[in-house]
Each structure stands twice: as structure tokens, then as C-alpha cells.
Structure 1
Amino acid sequence: MGIVTPFPTGAVPGQVGFDRAELTRILDLYGRMVAAGHWRDYAMDLGKDAAVFAAFRRAAERPEFRIEKRPALRNRQGMWALIGEAGQVIRRGHDLAPVLAPVERRLMKLVEE
């Protein structure tokens, strides 16, 4: 057998990112919103202070929602935040699922119509 060489992750030291479970949850919601015809594009920004997932109705607009992960706020109001198009904080918390609940409810309303 040969020598197993670890795959280079390319992660920058000190960079905030999403782990697999978090990204799976976010992309699952994104896929359902795309299937409902509500979202068309997304962007991710992985920086030193925060990891941001932004969902767009169209590619040339401001994002309708931004999902932010800020580990520095973990012990205060929670590291997760759902931010609206105008920059208002819609929901903040310690867990991802309750923060995504307003978008999940909106998806239920879109399916019913």
C-alpha cells in the first residue's frame, strides 16, 4: 500500500466558516426556496470575523436574507443572525434552526398559495 497524504483544506488560519451540518441545513433551505421559485442566486463570504451566506431573488440586487455566523458573539446574544434586505436583524440566537424559522415559515406560505 502507498502512503496516505491528507487532502489540503486550503483553510486560512483564523477564518470563520460553516461546518458540514450547518452548510447542509442552509443549502437545504436554499434549494427548497429555489424550487418554490423565490430565490435564484446565493453568495458566501468567509472572513476573519464572520461567515455570511446571502440569498438573492435576482443576481443584481441586495440579498433578501443574510445568514451570519459570528463566533465572537457566542457567549452573548448568540453567534447566528438572520438579517433582512434593509439590514435589520430579524432573528438572533445560539442555534441555527430557530434562526432560520422565519424563512421556513415563509416557505410554507409560498407552497400553500
Structure 2
Amino acid sequence: MSLDAPADSPQGPVFFDRRELDPILRVYGRMVAAGEWRDYAMLPGKDAAEFAVFRRSGDAPAYRIEKRPALQTRQGQWSVIGEGGQILKRGRDLAQVLRVFDARRFNVVD
């Protein structure tokens, strides 16, 4: 450990653990079954981990679910970011943040 690094800095890249991936993948599976999403990507990073979902392969991400541990004591480490970069929901509880996908506007209409 370097003397220059703050004591509370993460050691290595930020990523999702299994308890965090389970609810994310449940939402993803539900949206794939509804025909809304088709692909995903997971990206670890130095400061944040990202789960990006795509409507079609090759498109820009429709939504990004981001984990940023440095914000856990402030605004909350979880956020859902929309296509235009706007933060749709932010908080400390992943299940609460993922409820943004339960809203009526995400229902598929035949």
C-alpha cells in the first residue's frame, strides 16, 4: 500500500458481486422477455462499475446501471442513467433504484 493513497480508496477495479448482479439480471431478463432489450455489457473501472443495456447490438446503451462506491455515504452508490446521460434514479439501495424500470412507461403495448 502506498503512503500517497488515501486509506479509504478501493484496492483495484470496482465491480459487481453476485448479490448485486442477481437483481440486475432479473430486471434484464424481464426486459429481454418483453422484447425491450437485446444485449448488455459489464464494464469494471477504477472509480465505478457499469452494467449497460442495449436495445439493439451496436447501438449506444439505452440505460446504464452504475455502481460508484465513493458516493455511498453521500447520494448513494447506485444510479440508473438514461440514454441522454440524465440520471433517472440514484440511491443507496439497489432494489429501490431498479424500481425505475417498474414504471408504467416501460410496459410493452401490443
Query: How does the TM-score come out when normalised to structure 1?
Result: 0.82
Following TM superposition, where does structure 1 have runs of at least 4 consecutive aligned residues deviating by more than 4 angstroms?
A: none
- Distance (Å, rounded) in 2 between the aligned partners of 1:16 and 1:47: 6
After superposition, the Cα gap between the structure-2 partners of 1:96 and 1:30, relative to the gap in structure 1 and judged at 3 Å, is same
CA RMSD of aligned residues (A): 1.6
Q: Which residue, out of 44, 55, 59, partners 1:46?
A: 44
Partner in structure 1 of residue 66 of structure 2: 68
Q: Which runs of 5+ in 2 are unaligned?
A: 1-10
- TM-superposed CA distance for 1:106, in Å, is 4.6
Structure of greater Rg: 1
User: What is the SS of the residue equivalent to 2:60?
Assistant: coil
Counterparts of 1:50 and 1:108 in 2: how far apart (Å)? 26
Partner of 1:96: 94
Alpha-carbon distance in structure 2 between the residues aligned to 1:67 and 1:76: 18
Which residue number in structure 2 is paired with residue 32 of structure 1? 30
Deviation at 1:65, TM superposition (A): 0.6
Q: Among 60, 84, 90, which residue is 1:86 paired with?
A: 84
Which residue is 1:5 aligned to?
none
**Unpaired segments ≥5 residues, structure 1:** 1-12
The TM-score, its normalising length taken from structure 2, stands at: 0.84
Q: CA deviation at 1:105?
A: 2.4
**1:59 & 1:80 partners in 2: Cα distance?**
25
**Equivalent residue pairs, number:** 100
Contact 1:41 1:55 in 2 (8 A): yes
Could you tell me which amino acid in structure 1 is paired with residue 73 of structure 2?
N
